[in-house]
Chain A
Amino acid sequence: MRGNTRLRALMLALAALAATLVLAACGGGDDVGGASGNAAETAEPGPVEGEFNFSNWVGYIDKGDGGTVAEFEAKHPGVTMNYNEDVNDNADFFGKMSPLLDGGESGGRSMFVVTDWMAKQMNDLGYLQAIDYADVPNVDANLKQNLRSPEFDPDRSFSIPWQSGMTGLLVNEKLAPDVRSVNDLFDPQYKGKVTVLTEMRDTVPLMLKADGIDPADATKQDWLDEIDKLDQAVQSGQLRRFTGNDYIQDMTNENTVAVIGWSGDIELIDNEDVTWRMPTDGCILWSDNMVIPVGAPNTAAALAWADFVYDPKVQADISDYVRYVSPVQGIEAVNPQLAQDELVNPPEEFTANCSTQPDPPGSAEDVQEVTEAFQAVITQ
């Protein structure tokens, strides 16, 4: 008999679920999300002291004794820097931060690092403060010419590149010697041995380029067509997975033979046969940028930090450690050998064919539509 009470209880639960919904419908509430339309403030300079919280991606600096952070603290003895590696993923980080930033708070962070498109999105929502270049003379002097006016922030008014990078091909030269264009990933002989990135703004533009379409001129339909092509590759079993950096493990263990990947990660793959290749169709150039959020405490230290890492001497150490493309000119004078590495300091002809990372074209609704289509393919 008791069993029946229990069943009734569960039925009750179902009813309760339904009731919650009805109740929810009656009780209105404040709007959730939406642009707050804050007028952009400008980050305040001032004496460099006190606690400084900086959030960056994992593995983007040498944090050890005598590393860059320690040097910064030595230069500004009044500062205690907390270098946090808690940015894992742009969307993830945004999801965590937007409720805070919406209320004009930064959760104690003075500065954090996000990729171009995310910086733009945050700025559009009024989440970021403007930066006055008079406060960061090193940046003004040493930022590479080709990074000074990206489409998303033509005056670099709210973003300063931390490191840049190229999205291209990671290839196992023994197992997939012939993969040179992104289109080669769709060659049936590599069925189930290739992956592409979950980062839509890398994967789709690379495919567009391989099909001879300049991402800068691409239409929404072009994006949707490429997404459709991905869909077919999923259906046929050509694509093994969609990945973030976890392609590192797959390439190391030779689960995959050729993937779309980021230039600096070649350092992290312990397999001699794997190299990073510039696709014949060109690469995607992107930057991860230092930005100062609204409500940030101690913006003076943040500005000092940005200025500090744009000192070529300091930058050379960072570059040597991470091996991404450095946004700072003048490191060749400090470390000539490093400057010859075309992954750190790519010569102009090397990247001639590359495009900066684009957003899907059109209004916010169009971007949403493309995003939804891409996510639908990933979560199949």
Chain B
Amino acid sequence: MTSTRRRLIPYGLLGPGAIWLALFFIVPMYFMGELALRTGTFTTGFQSGFEISNFSDALSGNTEQFVRSFIYAGSATLIALAIAYPLAYAIALRAGRWKLLLLFAVVAPFFTTYLIRTIAWKTILADESPFVSLLQTLHLVPEDGRVLATGGAVVAGLTYNFLPFMILPIYASLERIDTSLIEAGKDLYASSTQTFLRVTLPITMPGIVAGVLLTFIPAVGDYINAEILGGTGTSMIGNVIQSLYLEQRNYPEAAALSFTMMAAILVVVIVYLRMAGTGAFMGDEDERD
């Protein structure tokens, strides 16, 4: 094999996917950017232009929803992490022969449509449901309080729907742990808490980082949970974009808002990766090569 051919191989392998993503991701993004700068209304048509004010309008009118989206998505991500880590740990290191079965149980919700699951939650969380009565008896919810149609229900829905995205990467990172390392850690640090903090946690950090991002990002942009489980005053930025697109047909502002959201998410991701101190957003396990 000649060296030129060899050098061309990766491009050949990469080609189809790269072209697909360029055509159907990058180009659409360009169109969206172009749309975001147009002026006019639906009835008069949108003329191309350089209407930067679409961006300031998008931001200034919806600060509250922006903040709320990040708070909801952030809370859902933290709760998901708290549930996912022990679960993934148990599946990867303690489940034995049940491992695959449990793993399947985790992915199973994917196979009953998103909307059906969310509507099912609406039944479970209904005001007069046994579950909510239980919460009321335990004084976790005030006697005349409710769960459905509150921000809490939206966070619960987000947590549930994106949990598999948290579990799978953490599971993958735990699965690859060499258990002798943990044994060594036990000898070294004696306490299992110490072992966990100094050995297990650092090794699984890439999985956590990936899981957090894969949960947080779709959660910020979600609007279905807020629409089905939320009430008044629980709208997220996705609801606003949907309303701008479909109800108000203000395509430029919808596009501008979408762009602003993406930029905000990227900023959060950058800050987060700085703090997490690892560049392990997806597949950077090769760092340890």
Contacts and interface: CB of A to CB of B under 8 A. Distances in A.
The answer to whether A and B touch directly, with their CB atoms under 8 angstroms apart, is yes
Interface of A: 2-7, 10-11, 13-14, 17, 20-21, 23-25, 27-29, 31-35, 89, 91-92, 94-95, 125, 192, 234-235, 237, 239-242, 246, 249, 253-255, 364-365, 368, 371-372, 375-376, 378-380
A24 B247 contact: no
**A-B pairs with lowest CB-CB distance, top 6:** A34-B45, A3-B279, A6-B279, A24-B34, A24-B33, A20-B33
Contacts of A10: 266, 269-270, 273, 281
Contacts, number: 155
Contacts of A28: 48
22 contacts: A7-B274, A7-B279, A10-B266, A14-B267, A21-B37, A23-B33, A24-B30, A24-B36, A24-B37, A28-B48, A31-B45, A33-B43, A34-B46, A95-B245, A192-B149, A235-B233, A253-B129, A255-B128, A372-B248, A379-B239, A380-B232, A380-B235
Contacts of A372: 248, 250
Given A10-B270, A17-B263, A365-B41, A95 B246 contact: yes
Given A6-B273, A21-B36, A33 B248 contact: no
Nearest to B55: A21
Nearest to B129: A253
Given A241-B232, A249-B122, A253-B126, 11 more contacts: A6-B280, A6-B284, A14-B270, A21-B36, A24-B37, A25-B50, A35-B43, A89-B246, A92-B246, A239-B232, A376-B61
Contacts of B126: 253-255
A5 B286 CA distance: 13
B165 interface: no
B240 interface: yes
Given A249-B122, A371-B247, A7 B128 contact: no
A274 B146 CA distance: 21
B29 interface: yes
A379 B243 contact: yes
Given A234-B232, A255-B148, A91 B247 contact: yes
Given A14-B267, A192-B146, A375 B233 contact: no
Contact of A33 (B34, B122, B246, B249): B249
B194 interface: no
B251 interface: yes
Nearest to B263: A17
Nearest to B274: A7
Interface of B: 29-31, 33-38, 40-48, 50, 61, 64-65, 119, 122-123, 126-129, 146, 148-149, 228, 230-233, 235, 239-240, 243-251, 259, 262-263, 266-267, 269-270, 273-274, 277-281, 284, 287
A164 B139 CA distance: 47
**Majority DSSP secondary structure for residues of A touching B:** helix
A28 B39 CA distance: 12
A253 B48 CA distance: 50
Nearest to B148: A255
A89 B227 CA distance: 15
B128 A21 contact: no
Given A10-B266, A23-B30, A27-B34, A2 B50 contact: no
A125 B45 CA distance: 11
Contact of A3 (B123, B128, B278): B278
A57 B10 CA distance: 51
Contacts of A95: 245-246, 249
A5 B123 contact: no
A159 to B, nearest CB: 20
B186 to A, nearest CB: 29
Contacts of B247: 91, 371, 375
Contacts of B50: 25
A46 to B, nearest CB: 34
B142 to A, nearest CB: 12
Contacts of B146: 192, 255
Given A17-B266, A21-B37, A254-B128, A2 B123 contact: no
Contacts of A3: 273, 277-280, 284, 287
Given A2-B279, A371-B248, A253 B46 contact: no
Nearest to B65: A379
Contact of A240 (B35, B231, B245, B277): B231
Given A17-B266, A240-B231, A379-B65, A33 B30 contact: no
B259 A32 contact: no
Contacts of A11: 270
Nearest to B238: A379
Contacts of B42: 33-34
Nearest to A244: B227
Nearest to A379: B235
A249 B38 CA distance: 41
A357 B289 CA distance: 68
B248 A368 contact: yes
B251 A32 contact: yes
Contacts of A13: 266
Nearest to A200: B247
B9 to A, nearest CB: 23
